[in-house]
A and B are shown apart, each in its own frame.
With several copies, the nearest count.
Chain A
């Protein structure tokens, strides 16, 4: 099915699906990668985007208005919405850790069947960066993970157990891939939706983790 779509198109497909989950008023932190694309599909003007490097009120920026000192967590240029505010990194993470951010959209390397994710380190490689991932996982009221269903070599990234170091002991709330949408309920994965063109057989085949259909 989805083999017809390019990698980029699949990422946009995921981002578009995530956007449907975001009903304002709410504050949403967008992680690096696919999550960043979500901004393009938001149509609710009461969804306020938070970036951990110190801005509430992120929006797209036109090429000619790029300011090198106005960026998101991925260091990509952004714009500032009306009603936005700037703050320092301690205040920004106080918002996150303190439970004041409603939703975090994160990428992941692996998810296990309890909804626990690994997204910051790969065994055998130097552990060099964690950024705000651990803070977002303990702090955001709801966490939605976006990821490709399988790795480049076709292995399932939704596993019985993560083989990479976990980011938090907290289960995420939702996983959206190019094939399926899972909710995590009582530490179990529940398939709630097939993405356009995906079949239940394909999801079963490409998902190592147990899940409720």
Chain B
């Protein structure tokens, strides 16, 4: 019953065409590069990808994009990969743009079993088009729905064998949120340790959220993405 998988393919067995996949990271920082690499080698299509960005051109999720495996992207900042714009122009991808705080909050709401929430962000802008406004105590808010995924692919620093996670600096970003918001959660880590080696006060993601763990084989360095 170990959560630890030796092969990326095994960890990704649960991913099917047409699913909604949550992918951690802020650009390539904190992105699950090994799992993304695994997806590029897997025969899947029509994925809805929820991620702050769609990688960079030819890197991370950018490879998946260029393979035409992504039907729809939900994120806050696609500008950092120019290929997204090209695909969008050609009608080859659907995009849903959300303010970054709304993206993060919707994922948290999804993980917390909430249906949606009211935020001030975006009120009166084009991103409010078609969304319900509501006055609460004299302030105008926008209704935003929770986001949930079929699978979450996330990146952490260390996992213990149970699946408790700690993160590393600004590579934390969306990962702990996505860990809560999908039916199946797969994490790649720098190191797997024994239960008890992570301080109970310091664990960011408790093990009940995690289904599979793999060691990272593709990592981000100053020189870019490299095999470990």
Contacts and interface: CB of A to CB of B under 8 A. Distances in A.
A69 B169 contact: yes
A51 to B, nearest CB: 7
A92 B126 CA distance: 24
Interface stretch (B9-17, B34-42, B92-100): B92-100
Contacts of A99: 113
Interface residues of A, number: 58
A22 B25 CA distance: 31
A83 interface: yes
A129 interface: yes
Given A85-B164, A168-B125, A96 B88 contact: no
B3 to A, nearest CB: 9
A88 B174 contact: yes
Contact of B162 (A80, A83, A167): A83
B120 A129 contact: no
B177 A75 contact: no
A92 B26 CA distance: 13
Given A128-B84, A128-B97, A169-B123, A67 B172 contact: no
A93 interface: yes
A98 B125 CA distance: 19
A194 to B, nearest CB: 33
Given A87-B206, A128-B77, 13 more contacts: A80-B200, A89-B100, A93-B104, A93-B105, A93-B112, A94-B112, A98-B180, A100-B111, A121-B126, A129-B77, A129-B97, A132-B99, A139-B120
23 contacts: A46-B1, A54-B172, A57-B200, A68-B221, A68-B222, A70-B170, A85-B206, A87-B172, A89-B101, A93-B104, A94-B105, A98-B110, A98-B180, A127-B126, A129-B79, A130-B77, A131-B77, A134-B121, A135-B100, A139-B101, A139-B120, A166-B125, A169-B125
